[in-house]
Amino acid sequence: MKIIMLGAPGAGKGTQAKQIADKYQIPHISTGDIFRANIKEGTELGTKAKEYMDQGLLVPDELVVELVADRIVKEDCKNGFVLDGFPRTIPQAEALDEALAKMGGKMDYAIDVDVSDENIVNRMGGRRACLGCGATYHIVNIPTKVEGICDKCGSEVVLRDDDKPETVQKRLTVYHEQTQPLIDYYSQQGILKSVDGTRPMEDVFADIVGILGA
């Protein structure tokens, strides 16, 4: 099963993607996580990506497309994968379709986690991410057991630079301009499904399982 998660930054698509990956035993491929890992390791890709990420801008397509194309041909992707944060532009979606066509495949589902902008701005201010393992929390909805400390690895959890209010606003503008057109793109392919992302996490996941099948 090959799945794309769509939705504004902060809509909760990452959380849902992780649960989908667990339940259906397929890899969770998050381009944001890949960039953050590269930043942490101080790679050239990380240095380039950070310039854009800190401003709330998208990393240029050419830096992303190859990365994903190389990842989805790996052995662990043979039964499918869930893409989180990719594609984010029409050229990325077209490149993905091309890469899959070469492998004789195509995407099965694009799931849009729908949340209003106002709701996103409120959520993102409360979001916290672990400096060590990248796990994400929310000060109200998904708090850490000990304030400021990651439950999973014990490192410090912080407000990510790209979750700061002015950056969030910019990311939403970028989302509407560059990523939202993908909703029509996948609707035309007949694989778009929408879920109401404002409901509790477990209910959103139940809706997704209803779409994908138990």
> What residues line the site for ligand AMP (CB under 6 A)?
9, 31-32, 35, 52-53, 57-59, 64, 85-88, 92, 162, 171
Q: Which is nearer to ligand AMP, 59 or 130 (CB)?
A: 59
The residues with which 138 forms a beta bridge, in sequence order, are: 127, 142
Shortest distance, position 168 Cβ to ligand AMP, whole Å? 10
Shortest distance, position 136 Cβ to ligand AMP, whole Å? 9
> Among 64, 61, 79, which Cα is nearest to 25's?
79
18 is catalytic: no
Evaluate whether 24 touches 80 at the Cβ level (below 8 Å): yes
171 is catalytic: yes
Residue number of the CB atom closest to ligand AMP? 32
Half-sphere exposure of residue 5: CA atoms within 13 angstroms, side-chain side: 29
- Distance in angstroms (rounded) separating the CA atoms of residues 32 and 133: 13
Q: Which is nearer to ligand AMP, 90 or 212 (CB)?
A: 90
36 is catalytic: no
Shortest distance, position 34 Cβ to ligand AMP, whole Å? 8
Evaluate whether 175 touches 166 at the Cβ level (below 8 Å): no
Catalytic residue among 13, 36, 123, 128: 13
Q: Residue 175 corresponds to which tokens in the numbers above? A: 């989302």
Phi, psi for residue 105 in degrees, rounded to 5: -130, 180
Q: Which is nearer to ligand AMP, 147 or 166 (CB)?
A: 166
123 is catalytic: no
13 is catalytic: yes
Q: Which is nearer to ligand AMP, 146 or 177 (CB)?
A: 177
Q: Which is nearer to ligand AMP, 98 or 206 (CB)?
A: 98
Shortest distance, position 204 Cβ to ligand AMP, whole Å? 17
Shortest distance, position 214 Cβ to ligand AMP, whole Å? 28
In angstroms, the Cα distances linking 208 to 74, 92, 96, 212 are 25, 24, 22, 6
Catalytic residue among 2, 36, 127, 128: 127
Query: Annotated catalytic sites, by residue?
Result: 13, 88, 127, 160, 171
